[in-house]
Structure 1
Amino acid sequence: MSDTQNLDNYWINYLKENDVIETEDEVSKSIRTDREKVIFLLNSVLSVFTSAVADENNYRGGEIPCFLKPFGSYGLGGYIRNADIDVVLICSQLIKRRDFFRFFPDTLRQLATIREIETIKNANVPIIKCVVDNISVDISFVRLRENHCDKNMDLLDDRYLKDIHETCRASLDGPRVNSFTKKQIRERHVYIFQRSLQCIKHWATRRQIYNKPIGYLNGSAWTLLLLKTYMDMRDTPNLSITLLTCTFFNKWRDWAWPAPVLLTGEIPGGEHGRRIELRHLPEFQDAVMPIVTPCYPVSSAAPNVTKSTLKIMTREFERAAVILDDASTEPKETLKKLFNNIEYFKKYQNFMTIITSSTLQSSHETWQRKMPNVIPQFLQMLEKSPDLRCIQPVTKPKLESHNYRTNEERKALEMGMSVAEAKQLDLNGQLNPGMVYLSFFFIGIQVESSCRFLNLSEQVDSFEKLLHSRRTKYDDDVRWHVTAFSRKKVKDIIFCNNRKHMAL
């Protein structure tokens, strides 16, 4: 695909034929797309929400100003099918955060089409999660220090950050970056940027390097890398999807990390206009892949990347660039190869496996969220071993649940044994029936050819101590087992028919 002209239709047709994006027929079936219906539905409950807040606080001053602002891939028009929708509820100072978490979920529960409502308060950006017509939605909250706010306000105006709570600043970062991104893209290039973004997100998903907590990048970081690529070439005549996407892969395979990625001439200094140096910001001091968000206050878009996950992503950039530079292959075959799904079981013979077990479903769900955030620290521990050549965390866990009869059977399941193996240990055990919930996180490892005996006991011990330090009074039922499994053992865990809830 070295000839970059007149090839854009191949990219677009691939996205449509493989259900990555909606077709024109799907969009034209109704006045609103499915995602537009979701936003319309959420907007329809705002008056009910603000009325509940007004009644609670005895406010009689008329309608309370607030509005919903989509951002992220949906806000840019570069989303892929089944992607979540990110929305922020921006409110005047009349609505407090406790009002949001108290009344907004109850308001959503009044609608039959909204289900799986969950509040996540203990996060850098607290959210309410829900599912609307099978589309997942994350709703964050911002309380401005203003009595009024409206949809036309310029979120890039730093004065709106003045005196607001630190959590609100963090929640406002995504929408501000979204506004910044839109301002950089020339009108004639919007369609090209959107389709290119969809191609890159689909590629990252298929190659399983789309996961921020576990050490790769999320949609925001991929968007910033594409935006940097675009800004460096937006004056190029006849810009196309093919040219932008091919340049993207070539640019980032050759980037001299840890040189920072900056989208502004200098780091935004914010309301006081002072100059900020990156080396003075704690989160960038040891950053492996420093991608700097473009709005004040700046943050790292890739905080969990380690040396090993950067190595994996760089290899993927290289692989993509080589495939696209091969002019001897038909475009359809080129794209098929580019988007080919990675097969871990051909690449790795051994896997470090983290098994989290619990007897309460609430603990199981909590550690599904918590474990990806601590895996990068385990990767850093493993990286200290000179005997490991390659370390690659698998982005999706395998989830299971099983009934057990005895403690012996439960313990066997918690160590990764199959149901049949566990039942063999059940014969003489003391009856104590229950349900055990399991999650398996896998990390593929390649050992140096010179290594005769691999010993990772020190790293495993350190990681288990870290896990125990993250335990709270609410998850006393949680246990961990960290061990090495062969390729065959991992395949048996993932594909064995007598296991439930296969998710990988």
Structure 2
Amino acid sequence: MGSPGLNNWNKVQRLGITEPISWSGPTEFDVIKTHELEKYLAVVGLYESQEEAVSREEVLGRLDQIVKLWVKSISRAKGLNEQMVQEANAKIFTFGSYRLGVHGPGADIDTLCVGPRHATREEDFFGELHKMLSESPEVTELHPVPDAHVPVMKFKFSGVSIDLLYAKLSLWVVPEDLDISQDSILQNVDEQTVRSLNGCRVTDQILCLVPNIQNFRTTLRCMRFWAKRRGVYSNVSGFLGGINWALLVARICQLYPNALPNMLVSRFFRVYTQWRWPNPVMLCDIEDSSLGLQVWDPRRYPKDKFHLMPIITPAYPCMNSSYNVSSSTLRIMTEEFQRGNEMCETMEANKADWNTLFELYPFFEVYKNYLQIDVTAANVDDLRKWKGWVESRLRQLTLKIERYTFNMLQCHPHPGDFSDKSKPFHCCYFMGLQRKQGVQAKEGEQFDIRLTVEEFKHAVGMYTLRKPGMEIHVSHVKRRNIPNFVFPGGIRPLRPSKLAGESKRVLESKVRCQPEADKSTEAVLDGVDDRRKRKREDDNVPTTMGSLKCSPVNSIAPCSTKSNEVVRDSPPVGLLSATDVSSSTKEAESLAIEKIMSGPYVAHQAFPEELEELEDDFENRNQVKDLLGSSKGGPMESSTAKEVVTDTSIDGAGPCSGLRSKGSLEELETDELAAKLSNGIHSTSTAQRKPLIRLNFTSLAKATDKREQLK
């Protein structure tokens, strides 16, 4: 029982597209656990100091002064009369984590410069303002990105990282009290301005649509920290970024308007564990405007039907903020939501604390096989540009592998990069590999991803700003040979015989790499599927899979998935006790969650990824295919085989013949392919070898029998 004072909570104004699940206020337990959470977040360093907060304010004030001087300067240069020059104005707005109030020490500040109609983006913003910033002693590491989807200038101002966007309005004079939340601000502006304004407009709408801003902020800090610890915080990698997590948390705040962060965190996992994607998460109704800008609507726009995890922005024009999510990353996040729900239930029973929820995800322990993508350049500036380009394309590698193996081979991209300090201007990315869980493998079943990896490298090599020294290499590396520099302090931790709380599933796999001259060999990899096994409904569904050789040159048949149509006009949800954890209350809450997933949108998927991302790949694929030849006949022969694979088998059958050990990496490339590409299509490097990889998954039952015999 909570204290009387804690239970006297009044209903607040209803926010959101449905009634709340519960109006209940906090109990004494919620108050205690929330205090513990706030203390925990402070101890791990998620709050900036007062000195840093003041420094940020000063930087923003100084930046605002600079853009005001800039707009007057260009107004005078363009021949405007003196009165117009004096009235000319530009204004700085903030958005993202800083505007939401959840930024931490050293975080970037997302800023927007709003200027008048005569201040152009190309000539004035990326020209004159860039020049002014470059001449300022306070500005360092200035890096303009004018060709980005949302053009941006990145720099540090007195040590504070700034991302500066530009919006050119149709106004001759920008008023100091400008309200950019009004839809009229979007009249007669270009698409880049709409995108640039979107960040500020969405951020402001979120703060208007949550019932208690302080509780929202604490909960969002918690969820952002949790997502980073569990490796699911990265929009570019196909997971969720800051705006996505903010929208998900805001919706939970709407559903439990009087709850404290302890309960909001718990209900976050409970709701999204039961959420039936691709039902969209929305903070408000999607409204069209007379401006005619396209909004997210799968009923009208076919491409919107292929989004797997729609999280819709609340400001016009409403868009899906999570279109980067793939089937593999959705699966990983769904499993993490399930784990979070289990941890919260354990905490409610006083059998765990916050440390358990925030346990670091052991990425380099849960798989046996990884792809390593190494990126190098000639200098720091080139590496920054090249790395950014490669990172933006990594998601396509995941999508390609999923598509051309019919989702049978799953990728888990690590959201961050690593650097080998012994190598100058180097960084690398990793992807865990596993066969789809719950599906019995047939003997001889193969997943040939040679062309897929080749296409990816070819696409990356088409970078228009590429310079000599910008190289990319794709390697296979086993878990036991993961380089030490990825671990904290460069020290590999001792691996326990069994991961605590992690269920291990061992699958066998084979990789065929180009052997020495005129020899056909196979390298047996450790089982790819060592991913954490969690409770899932489809684990109990018997699945049979016929003989299938998945090759990227095969045609792909649409996988028609029939989804339930949801209707918004449902009766109001009954009020529930927010702290009653009895099975009957949970059942009633589950029914309420089911009703919340409502709307007039028919969720229908034809492919497990956006067609937009891959529709231009077929011409490129045919080019690469012509050079590589058919993959059905096994590995290509080469007169000069360079890189080889490690010499180990998991089933105790002994080493593979014809293989030479070469360190911890398995480079999947040959000189012959490099020569062919240099004579045909654009090559990524004259000295670079091209990848060959074929995964061959054998029967799980057979592998298990062999291991038992060896014991």
Q: Scaled by the length of structure 1, what TM-score is found?
A: 0.82
Contact 1:267 / 1:278 at 8 angstroms: preserved in 2? no
Q: Which residue in 2 is equivalent to 1:125?
A: 150
Do the aligned partners of 1:71 and 1:178 also contact (CA within 8 Å) in 2? yes
CA distance in 1, matches of 2:375, 2:299: 37
**In 2 relative to 1, CA 371–232 (structure 1 residues): closer, same or farther, beyond 3 Å?**
same
SS of alignment partner, residue 87 of structure 2: coil
C-alpha deviation, 1:18, in angstroms: 0.9
1:214 equivalent in alignment to 2:237:
yes
> Which one has the bigger strand percentage?
1
C-alpha contact (below 8 Å) 1:269/1:276 kept by paired residues = no
Which residue in the other structure is 2:419 paired with? 399
Residues 135 and 145 (structure 1 numbering): CA distance in 2 closer, same or farther, change over 3 Å? same
Instruction: Output the amino acid matched with 1:190.
Output: I
Which of 419, 427, 433 in structure 2 is aligned with 1:439? Answer: 427
Q: 1:185 aligns with which of 205, 210, 229?
A: 210
Structure 2 CA distance for aligned equivalents of residues 13 and 151 of structure 1:
39
% identical equivalent positions: 23
Match of residue 63 from structure 1: 87
CA shift for structure 1 position 84: 1.2
Query: Considering only aligned residues, what root-mean-square deviation do their CA atoms show, in Å?
Result: 2.9
Pair 1:325-2:345 in alignment: yes
SS of 1:347's equivalent in the other structure is: coil
2-structure distance, mates of 1:296, 1:204: 28
Q: CA deviation at 1:463?
A: 2.3
More off after superposition, 319-328 vs 136-145: 319-328
Q: 1:301 aligns with which of 296, 321, 324?
A: 321
C-alpha separation in 2, matches of 1:52 and 1:148: 14
Aligned partner of 2:69 in structure 1 is: 48
Whole-Å Cα distance in 1 between the matches of residues 97 and 406 of structure 2?
A: 40
Q: For residue 40 of structure 2, what is the aligned residue in structure 1? A: 14
For the residues of structure 2 that align with 1:283 and 1:83, how far apart are their CA atoms? 34
Residues in 2 aligned to 1:80 and 1:177: alpha-carbon distance in whole angstroms? 20
Tell me the equivalent position of 1:340.
Answer: 359
TM-superposed deviation, 1:191:
0.8
> How many aligned residue pairs are there?
454
Kindly tell me: are residues 196 and 275 of structure 1, through their superposed partners in 2, closer, same or farther at Cα, counting changes over 3 Å? closer
Alignment of 1:185-264 (within 5 A): 185-186=210-211, 189-234=212-257, 238-264=258-284
Would the aligned equivalents of 2:237 and 2:415 in 1 still touch at CA under 8 Å?
yes
Instruction: Write out per-residue CA displacement over residues 431-468 of structure 1, whole angstroms, 9 at most, x where no aligned residue.
Output: xxxxx643311101134684777643233233233333
Structure 2 Cα separation of the partners of residues 276 and 477 of structure 1: 42
CA distance in 2, matches of 1:110, 1:487: 49
1:176 maps to 201
Give the aligned partner of residue 191 of structure 2: 166
Relative to structure 1, is the Cα distance of residues 270 and 197 closer, same or farther in structure 2, using a 3 angstrom cutoff? Answer: farther
In the alignment, structure 1 residue 357 sits paired with structure 2 residue 376? yes
Aligned partner letter, 1:440:
C
TM-score normalized by the length of structure 2: 0.59
Q: State the Cα deviation string for residues 77-128 of structure 1 (Å, max 9, x = none).
A: 1223332111101112232212111222333344433311111101111111
* Corresponding residue of 2:115: 91
CA–CA distance in structure 1, aligned partners of residues 296 and 386 of structure 2: 37
> Deviation string for 1:389-423 (max 9, x for gaps)?
642101112234777xxxxxxxxxxxxxxxxxxxx
Give distance in 2, aligned partners of 1:242 and 1:21.
Answer: 18
In 2: Cα distance, 1:106 partner to 1:473 partner: 21
Q: CA deviation at 1:278?
A: 2.8
The equivalent residue for 2:330 is: 310
- Distance in 1 between residues matched to 2:219 and 2:142, nearest whole Å: 33
8 Å CA contact 2:378–2:469 kept in 1: the answer is yes
Q: Which runs of 5+ in 1 are unaligned?
A: 404-435, 499-504
Please list every run of 5 or more consecutive structure 2 residues that lacks an aligned counterpart in the other structure: 1-25, 492-711
Distance 1:153 1:55, change over 3 A: closer
CA distance in 1, matches of 2:305, 2:312: 12
C-alpha distance 79-312 of structure 1, shift in aligned 2 (>3 A): same
Aligned pair partner of 1:80 in 99, 104, 120: 104
Match of 2:58 in 1: 37
Residue 343 to residue 247, structure 1, CA distance change in 2 (3 Å): same
Q: Does 1:148 align with 2:136?
A: no
Q: Distance in 1 between matches of 2:294 and 2:233?
A: 35
In structure 2, the partner of 1:501 is none
Q: Which amino acid aligns with 1:370?
A: W
| 1:277-302: CA deviation from partner (whole Å, max 9, x where unpaired) | 33433552311111122222222211
Query: Contact between 1:398 and 1:439, CA under 8 Å: does it hold in 2?
Result: yes
Deviations 1:25-48 (A, max 9, x none): x32x59x53322221221232333
Q: Deviation string for 1:349-390 (max 9, x for gaps)?
A: 211122233335444222211122222221122224369564
Aligned residue number for residue 408 of structure 1: none
